[in-house]
């Protein structure tokens, strides 16, 4: 398997820089909203995906469904977040012991 080449570029276009800053700011707002509303989402979100866009949440069964909601409900929010919420207790591993 061939390694993927890494390209580093300096972005100087003011429009592109402004777009990136706006996207980052939206993502920060959505992240802050999520941090303040975890209690509203749990325990319903355990084992599911959550989408945060426009400082609003949606619980979905799949990442695709979560992204579809974010893009439909808040098409101008380029800082949407989608996360899987692990159920409490974490993974379990079973093994034979001799």
Question: What global pTM score does this model have?
Answer: 0.79
For residue 22, the SS3 value is helix
Are β-strands 81-84 and 49-53 bridged in parallel, bridged antiparallel, or unpaired? Answer: antiparallel
| Banded model confidence at residue 90, pLDDT cuts 50, 70, 90 | low
3-25 average pLDDT score? 95
Q: Report d(CA 24, CA 64) in Å as an integer.
A: 22
The whole-number pLDDT of residue 89 equals: 82
18-44 average pLDDT score? 96
Write the pLDDT tens digit of every residue in 33-54: 999 999 999 999 999 999 999 9
61-81 average pLDDT score? 97
CB 70 within 8 A of CB 53: yes
Looking at every residue in the chain, the average pLDDT score rounds to 93
| Banded model confidence at residue 59, pLDDT cuts 50, 70, 90 | very high
Residue 91 has pLDDT above 90, yes or no: no
């Amino acid at each position: 398997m061939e390694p993927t080449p890494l390209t580093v570029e300096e972005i100087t276009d003011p429009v592109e820089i402004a777009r990136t800053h706006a996207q980052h700011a939206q993502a920060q707002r959505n992240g802050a909203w999520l941090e303040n509303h975890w209690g509203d989402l749990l325990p319903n979100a355990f084992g599911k995906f959550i989408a945060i866009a426009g400082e609003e949440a949606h619980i979905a069964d799949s990442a695709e469904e979560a992204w579809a909601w974010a893009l439909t409900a808040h098409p101008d929010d380029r800082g949407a977040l989608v996360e899987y919420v692990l159920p409490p207790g974490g993974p379990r591993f079973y093994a034979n012991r001799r």
